[in-house]
Amino acid sequence: MSTPIDDDTPVYVISVAAQLSGLHPQTLRAYERMGLVTPVRAGSRNRRYSMRDMRTLHEIQRLSRDEGVNLAGVRHILDLRRETQALRAEVRRLRELADQLGNELESARGVAARLARELRRRGRARGGAPVPASARPEPPSH
């Protein structure tokens, strides 16, 4: 069974990444040292770039060449974008959790309402009010 290739799969060696990006391999190494791109190391020396890395390299070129942003600014922009993506994912996760907890709360309220009705019904059937849970004796512990 083959492993599916996605945007994060490291597939391109540095020479291919350089050719596809239009950058010199030394430039790619410099970008790695600066933390602008982080290819996966296959063994101790071989770098492998993913499609996500390739898009990052193109974005670095666009920002620096077309927008006139220096490499420190590019790093800051890329860091902010990564942070924004992580925060958006966290917001999605928290919204899903809030929805789940809201559903559970509604379910618990429904159960509590049914129990209250049943206790009132039983109290009327016995001719008195139900005994609050706090007034009931504790079961013996072993």
Domain boundaries, the chain: 1-69, 70-126
pLDDT for 46:
87
Residues 46, 11 contacting (CB under 8 angstroms): no
Tens of pLDDT along the chain (142 residues)? 667 788 889 999 999 999 999 999 999 999 999 999 999 987 777 899 999 999 999 999 999 999 999 999 999 999 999 999 999 999 999 999 999 999 999 999 999 999 999 888 888 777 665 556 555 556 666 6
Enter the tokens of residue 45: 């020396």
CATH architecture of 1-69: Orthogonal Bundle (1.10)
Q: Are 127 and 121 in contact (CB under 8 A)?
A: no
What is the value of pTM for the model shown? 0.66
